[in-house]
């Protein structure tokens, strides 16, 4: 191999590893997540409030693309507020389990339980491998009793190698992290509602 060919190959490899497809904002669609859990919340009246407590500079960013040097080169942006995504996922699961979800705060009665979820982390990244995390703090009040107060739950995944850093891959990473979170969170919510 001649020195010109080696130089050309070296330049091409340098270009591909430093530029690649690491630029350009990725837009992800956050759809409510359904789990395979089988739980019973029949007869439970509940109001759900979700607050996004992530740093304001992160909103609506839910991740970053990194180049071969680990530098952030693009943002991953959610198509809706993270708090709405988390709430929709929890509410859908509660309804599937038979709970009666009260949508309007003005319709709360003294017998309804109140679930408050603070979103602390919702983030996906790709540097060689994808990684995603959704962390929340849960509080559950029933009557005047605080059953759970600020308990943290984390859903984490490392689903695989990052080849193209596509929006679809980031979306799937966040969905898997949410599914992992719900698998830990929902049984505790149901237990608190029944206590």
Report whether pLDDT(32) > 90: yes
Gap between the Cα atoms of 40 and 98, Å rounded: 6
89-141 per-position pLDDT tens digit? 999 999 999 999 998 888 777 778 999 999 999 999 876 678 899 999 999 99
- Residue 84's beta-bridge partner residues? none
SS3 track for 29-49 = CCCCCCCCCCCCCCCCEEEEE
CA distances from 10 to 5, 19, 20 (A): 8, 14, 15
For domain 24-194, the CATH architecture is 3-Layer(aba) Sandwich (3.40)
40-92 per-position pLDDT tens digit? 999 899 999 999 999 998 889 999 887 777 788 888 999 999 999 999 999 99
> How sure is the predictor about 19, in pLDDT bands with cuts at 50, 70 and 90?
very low
Gap between the Cα atoms of 63 and 41, Å rounded: 34
> How sure is the predictor about 18, in pLDDT bands with cuts at 50, 70 and 90?
very low
Gap between the Cα atoms of 170 and 191, Å rounded: 32
Sign of CA dihedral 159, 166, 162, 73: negative
Residues above pLDDT 70, as percent of the chain: 85
CA-wise closest residue to 192 among 136, 141, 144, 117: 141
Q: What's the whole-model pTM score? A: 0.84
Gap between the Cα atoms of 22 and 38, Å rounded: 41
Gap between the Cα atoms of 143 and 153, Å rounded: 24
């Amino acid at each position: 191999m001649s020195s010109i060919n080696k130089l050309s190959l070296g330049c091409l490899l340098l270009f591909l590893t430093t530029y690649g497809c690491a630029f350009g904002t990725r837009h992800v669609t956050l759809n409510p997540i359904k789990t395979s859990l089988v739980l019973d919340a029949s007869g439970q009246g509940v109001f759900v409030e979700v607050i996004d407590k992530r740093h304001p500079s992160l909103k609506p960013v839910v991740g970053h693309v990194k180049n071969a040097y680990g530098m952030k080169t693009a943002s991953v942006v959610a198509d809706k507020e993270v708090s709405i995504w988390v709430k929709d996922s929890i509410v859908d699961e509660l309804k599937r389990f038979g709970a009666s979800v009260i949508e309007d705060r003005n319709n709360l009665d003294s017998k309804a339980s109140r679930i408050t979820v603070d979103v602390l982390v919702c983030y996906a990244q790709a540097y060689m491998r994808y990684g995603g995390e959704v962390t929340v703090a849960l509080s559950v009040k029933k009557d005047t009793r605080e059953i759970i107060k600020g308990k943290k739950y984390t859903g984490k995944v490392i689903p695989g190698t990052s080849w193209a850093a596509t929006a679809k891959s980031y979306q799937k990473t966040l969905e898997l992290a949410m599914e992992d979170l719900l698998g830990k969170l929902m049984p505790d919510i149901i237990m608190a509602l029944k206590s």
